[in-house]
Structure 1
Amino acid sequence: MSSIKTSAHSTADTPTAPATPANPTADPGPLGLAGFAATTLVLSFVNAGIVGAGVAAAVLPLALFYGGLAQLIAGIMEFRKGTTFGATAFCTYGPFWMAFAFFNWFFAKDAGADTSSAVGMFLLVFTIVTAYLAVASLATNGALVAVFVLLALTFLFLTIGAFGEADGMTKIGGWLGVITAVVAFYTSFAVVTNDTWKRTVLPVFPMAPRA
């Protein structure tokens, strides 16, 4: 902190400059959640069999830029805000979607007969990360807990479906993904609306503080 030097005059007579307000950083959470939800919704529609597999081609650019790049930017901003959970989550799922796009564009065809196992291993890694993020989310709010628990189940069923080449498991994972996306959209909607209106319009169900 800077100090104000005084001469023979009393400090009471010395004018002080008004404090410069800190430059606030916008909450990157709604952006990250929206990018995650949008990409998850489209791919989950494909996995659930609601739309044809050809729609998956539309997921790749969406995964690269909105689900991937936007989430990565949100995660980097969370680092600046000092939010370990948000930084870890968004800097995990942003690169997940980027890697998903690159895998499907450049590497899936090279996996040959091992494509199912390759996809299974890819999904298994993120199942593990999502499982412990779901545990960590218990200290945040009910909306985020719902997102991460549902996402962990989504990854689990998709992983089982990939390893076992079981379409039924993949469809269950797809439906869980649709629900996850809807809850993530709600959470994004609630945070950005509450922040804009400067009051609680939509609840996110904060967890009770620990004693």
Structure 2
Amino acid sequence: MSEDIKDVMNIRDVKIKDLSANPAPLGLMGFGMTTVLLNIHNAGFYPLGAVILSMGIFYGGLGQVIAGIEEWKKGNTFGATAFTSYGLFWLTLVVIVLLPKFGDNFAGLALTPTDFAAYLFLWGLFTLYMFIGTLKATRALQVVFLSLTILFFLLAAGNYMGNPAIIKIAGYEGIFVGFSAIYAAMGQVLNEAYGKKIVPL
């Protein structure tokens, strides 16, 4: 047996260099832009309409799920869990809004303040534990997840108590959340494009 064949047979581990793109900016932009639009509504500037729902289905929803699957392929458990979960959050939110409108058979599924508050509260708990995970990441991600935790709890409280003032405050806070995610996304894109730190993260 030749030495070359023996060398091949003795290989135990093969390292493959990952040349795929960073999916995080896609996920952060999908989350950030959709969050800004929804919370401009929560702040009272315009009613819930097709623009928000379409963004929730496609960019905030499917876009983040795609980013999450790509993070999974890269072996990033945090990114896979975060983007896939928040993508599915947007999809479930759209279904929660639209399902009761699909005829009389679904009329009994109309949203109540209590069950919507429970839904938002659970997402707040999820985001709180994800925030703990960001303590090992960049300051920009810490800001996104901490402010998002506050947003979910504010929205849960506002809906549970039926308090429009809290929901309006949450709307302004949510606009900040969305723009902080957009900042984090653009920071990653521009820093990679220029090969140096253009945007501090």
Scaled by the length of structure 2, the TM-score of the pair is 0.87
Residue 185 (str. 1) matches residue 200 (str. 2): no
Equivalent residue in structure 1 for 2:33, among 10, 32, 38: 38
Residues 41-80 of structure 1 aligned to structure 2 (within 5 Å): 41-49=36-44, 51-53=45-47, 55-80=48-73
1:99-122 deviations in Å (ceiling 9; x for gaps): 00111111375345x611121121
Structure with higher Rg: it is 1
Secondary structure of the 2:4 match is: coil
CA distance in 2, matches of 1:152, 1:48: 18
1:19-168 matches, cutoff 5 A: 22=17, 24-49=19-44, 51-53=45-47, 55-107=48-100, 109-112=107-110, 115-168=112-165
Report if aligned partners of 2:99, 2:109 keep a CA contact under 8 Å in 1.
Answer: no
What CA RMSD, in Å, does the superposition of the two structures yield over aligned residues?
Answer: 1.9
* CA distance, structure 2, for counterparts of residue 150 and residue 110 of structure 1: 34
Give me the whole-angstrom Cα distance separating, in 1, the residues matched to 2:124 and 2:40: 19
Identify unmatched segments of 5+ residues in structure 2.
7-14, 102-106
Amino acid at match of 1:39: T
Which range moves more in the overlay, 63-72 or 167-176?
167-176
The correspondence for 2:166, drawn from 165, 169, 189, is 169
The letter for the 1-side match of 2:61 is G
Name the stretch that deviates more: 165-174 or 28-37.
165-174
**Equivalent residue pairs, number:** 186
1:57 and 1:120 map into 2 onto residues whose CA distance is 23
Q: Which whole-Å CA distance do the structure 2 matches of 1:164 and 1:111 have between them?
A: 20
In 2, Cα distance between the equivalents of 1:201 and 1:4?
A: 47
Asked if structure 2 preserves the Cα contact closer than 8 Å seen for 1:33 and 1:188, the reply is yes
Aligned 8 A contact 1:46 1:56 in 2: no
SS of aligned partner of 2:135: helix
1:187, 1:43 → 2: CA distance? Answer: 19
- Of 101-110 and 154-163, the range deviating more from structure 2: 101-110
Identity of aligned residues (%): 33
Between the aligned partners of 1:107 and 1:149, the Cα distance in structure 2 is 32
CA contact (8 A) 2:33 2:179 kept: no
Tell me the SS of whatever aligns to 1:27: coil
Query: Is the contact made by 2:68 and 2:81 (CA closer than 8 Å) also made in structure 1?
Result: yes
2:42 & 2:17 partners in 1: Cα distance? 46
The runs of 4+ residues in structure 1 deviating greater than 2 Å are: 3-6, 20-23, 107-112
Q: Which whole-Å CA distance do the structure 2 matches of 1:156 and 1:32 have between them? A: 22
How far apart are 1:21 and its partner, in Å?
A: 7.7
Kept in 1: contact 2:143–2:180 (CA 8 A): yes
How far off its partner does 1:56 sit? 3.4
User: Which one-letter code corresponds to 1:99 in the other structure?
Assistant: T
